[in-house]
Amino acid sequence: MMKKIILLSLALISLSPSAFALQVGVSIAQMDDVFLSRLRGYVIERSKTYPDMKLQFEDAQGAVDKQLSQVQNFINAKVDVIIVNPVDTQGTKNVSDAARAAKIPLIYLNRMPSDSEMGNGVSYIGSNEIEAGRLQMQYLADRVKDRPSVNVAIMKGLLSNDATRFRTQGAKEIIAKHPNMHVVIEDTAKWMREDGMNLMNNWILSGDKIDILSANADEMAIGAAMAIKSNGMKIGKDILVGGTDGGPNGLQSIKAGLLTVTVFQDAKSQAYGAVDMAEKASKGESIKDINFIPFQLVTPENYQNFMTK
């Protein structure tokens, strides 16, 4: 009898607690990206509210094939839910197909796929990227409405990301409504501060007259602002500089006068929401196919409201 009790106890121990843990595989497009690093931190923070949740992070390092391999490894490991921040928003179909075939819930975070339909086990949480471009450019347009002619330069993120395409599209929609505004040059700085600084420096040295620098992200805008200052010009007077993301670096740059405006992208709400969705999906509960977290305008007048977010 005692032997049976011992064997039963050992069996129960072997099943608890890890055997009942909620296993979530998370693939991040590029962990050295400033915004994505913050996003990862918030995912970890929120997961701590679910004691049984175990996260496995992988860095796709900007490679589509690496990310697909990571997702396949998650599937082979029989995780309960997969969260993916896509490397390429036009290269997610194989990821979605693999997750659906394995009947594992898949949640896309922050970057919305353009080649995968949401629903049937696949969801998205992030923001409506076109709104970021509209909000940023409308603020800048209002600042120059009395000028007869305004030259706009657009600094783009990675061309493989829909955030780049839609933020740029939103900015151009506003520019098109103002006859005095014209896009004179545009190019990619790949989301990076150093690339933004080098690109802006090249534009200035080439003699291009620029009144507004519209960047798809704060890091590029900050780099551009550094180049503007190093060339003896003043932010806000010679060139207005707009960014997007509204993270700590962007907010400090607004405070210091390096940025004229930015747009707050709520990384915390996106990440927290993805973790909450994963927990619900693991239980078979229904979740929304698409969850949009609103962007918010950040200016020198209200930036302090965002410092604690």
DSSP class per residue in 109-177: ESS--SSS--BTTEEEEE--HHHHHHHHHHHHHHHTTTSS-EEEEEEE--TT-HHHHHHHHHHHHHHHT
Q: Which two tokens stand for residue 155?
A: 């600094």
Q: Give the pTM.
A: 0.84
**Residues 77-135 pLDDT 10s:** 999 999 999 999 999 999 999 999 999 999 999 999 988 899 999 999 999 999 999 99
CA distances in angstroms from 164 to 65, 133, 182, 189, listed in the order given? 21, 9, 19, 11
Question: Average pLDDT, stretch 185-196?
Answer: 97
Question: Average pLDDT, stretch 156-178?
Answer: 95
Q: Is residue 217 part of a domain?
A: yes
Q: What percent of the chain has pLDDT over 90?
A: 90
Question: Average pLDDT, stretch 282-307?
Answer: 96
Q: Are residues 245 and 280 in the same domain?
A: no
Q: What is the CATH number of the domain that holds 256?
A: 3.40.50.2300
Q: Are residues 100 and 157 in the same domain?
A: no
Q: Are residues 118 and 195 in the same domain?
A: no
pLDDT score of 42 more than 50: yes
Per-residue confidence (pLDDT) for residue 6, from 0 to 100 = 45
Question: Average pLDDT, stretch 34-51?
Answer: 96
Q: Is residue 180 part of a domain?
A: yes
Binned at pLDDT 50, 70 and 90, residue 20 comes out as low
pLDDT score of 306 more than 60: yes
Q: What is the domain extent for residue 55?
A: 2-127+267-292
Q: Is residue 308 part of a domain?
A: no
Q: Are residues 188 and 216 in the same domain?
A: yes
Q: 199: number of CA atoms within 13 Å, CB side?
A: 27
Q: Is residue 299 part of a domain?
A: no
* 264 against 7, higher pLDDT: 264
Q: Are residues 219 and 141 in the same domain?
A: yes
What distance in Å separates the CA atoms of residue 16 and residue 44, rounded to the nearest whole number? 22
Nearest to 246 by CA among 263, 226, 228, 269: 263
What distance in Å separates the CA atoms of residue 153 and residue 4, rounded to the nearest whole number? 76
Q: Which two tokens stand for residue 72?
A: 């396949």
Q: Are residues 104 and 150 in the same domain?
A: no
Per-residue confidence (pLDDT) for residue 281, from 0 to 100 = 97
Q: Are residues 140 and 232 in the same domain?
A: yes
pLDDT score of 13 more than 60: no
Q: Which residues contact 87 (CB under 8 A, 6 or more apart)?
A: 29, 30, 60, 62, 63, 64, 66, 67, 160
Length of the chain: 309
pLDDT score of 137 more than 50: yes
**Residues 261-272 pLDDT 10s:** 999 999 999 999
Q: Are residues 200 and 118 in the same domain?
A: no
How many domains are there within the chain?
A: 2
Per-residue confidence (pLDDT) for residue 9, from 0 to 100 = 46
pLDDT score of 201 more than 50: yes
pLDDT score of 14 more than 60: no
Q: Are residues 259 and 183 in the same domain?
A: yes
Q: Are residues 81 and 166 in the same domain?
A: no
Q: Are residues 178 and 102 in the same domain?
A: no
Q: Is residue 110 part of a domain?
A: yes
Per-residue confidence (pLDDT) for residue 308, from 0 to 100 = 80
